[in-house]
């Protein structure tokens, strides 16, 4: 999920078992679970490889988030407590400090934590669960394709605008601000995809 094992990497049962101090049996069970989740692929002669994560899957995840995340944020707006709004403000300050200190991983963690606080007040828990699943696809995508910085560039300013609208309880404004943020991220993903195709085809 963190992209440390690149697509095509072979998983050798004995090596995995040794790394985690277990027998090969639970490793086989874990690999079967990973296969059902589409994270590994079983090849002939019991070869197991990390699956690729095509650009299309990343684009699809961002397209769905663009539609669903503004709805969730709008629904949460009138229900957020003063304490939650204060936590959001604190996370924005943390994000600013992360940027000043060049702490990319901490910035990403605080970015997602911001939305986690918003999600706490979304009444439709199925919507939240769907968004969390889409987020995991997105996170794996940007790690595998090494485009975290490109996708999250300018996010702190976008979330500051969202926060101001949340404090004003402007649900429609929150909807538009979150949607604009997601549209921008999707456009960056599509631009990166286009540049990747150009490099592969020599255009």
3-state secondary structure 47-89: EEEECCCCHHHHHHHHHHHHHHHHHHHHHHHHHCCHHHHHHHH
Q: What pLDDT, on the 0 to 100 scale, is given for residue 144?
A: 73
Q: What pLDDT, on the 0 to 100 scale, is given for residue 81?
A: 98
> pLDDT for 49-67, tens place per residue?
877 667 788 889 999 999 9
> pLDDT for 67-80, tens place per residue?
999 999 999 999 99
Q: What pLDDT, on the 0 to 100 scale, is given for residue 197?
A: 47
Question: pLDDT exceeding 70 applies to what percent of the chain?
Answer: 90
Q: Where in the chain is the domain with CATH 1.20.120.530?
A: 55-201
- Whether 113 has a pLDDT exceeding 50, the answer reads yes
Residue 48 CA to residue 51 CA, distance in Å, equals 9
Mean pLDDT value across residues 168-190: 95
Q: Which fold has domain 10-50?
A: Arc Repressor Mutant, subunit A (1.10.10)
Rounded to two decimals, the pTM is 0.76
Q: Where in the chain is the domain with CATH 1.10.10.10?
A: 10-50
Q: What pLDDT, on the 0 to 100 scale, is given for residue 199?
A: 43
**100: β partners:** none
| pLDDT interval class at 14 (50, 70, 90) | confident
Q: Which fold has domain 55-201?
A: 1.20.120
Return the minimum-mean-pLDDT range out of 54-63, 139-148, 159-168, 175-184: 139-148
Q: What pLDDT, on the 0 to 100 scale, is given for residue 145?
A: 72
The answer to whether the CB of 149 falls within 8 A of the CB of 192 is: no
Q: What pLDDT, on the 0 to 100 scale, is given for residue 195?
A: 58
């Amino acid at each position: 999920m963190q992209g440390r094992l690149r697509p095509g990497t072979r998983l050798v049962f004995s090596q995995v078992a040794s790394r985690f101090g277990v027998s090969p049996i639970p490793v086989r069970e874990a690999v079967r679970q990973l296969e059902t989740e589409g994270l590994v692929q079983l090849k002939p002669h019991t070869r197991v490889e990390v699956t690729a994560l095509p650009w299309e899957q990343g684009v699809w995840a961002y397209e769905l988030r663009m539609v669903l995340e503004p709805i969730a944020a709008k629904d949460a707006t009138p229900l957020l407590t003063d304490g939650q709004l204060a936590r959001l403000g604190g996370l924005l300050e943390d994000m600013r400090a992360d940027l000043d200190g060049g702490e990319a991983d901490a910035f990403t963690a605080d970015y997602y934590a911001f939305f986690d606080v918003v999600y706490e007040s979304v009444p439709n828990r199925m919507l939240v669960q769907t968004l969390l699943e889409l987020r995991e696809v997105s996170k794996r995508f940007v790690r595998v394709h090494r485009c975290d910085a490109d996708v999250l560039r300018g996010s702190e300013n976008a979330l500051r605008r969202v926060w101001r609208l949340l404090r004003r309880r402007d649900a429609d404004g929150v909807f538009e601000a979150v949607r604009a943020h997601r549209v921008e991220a999707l456009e960056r993903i599509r631009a990166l995809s286009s540049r990747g195709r150009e490099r592969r085809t020599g255009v």
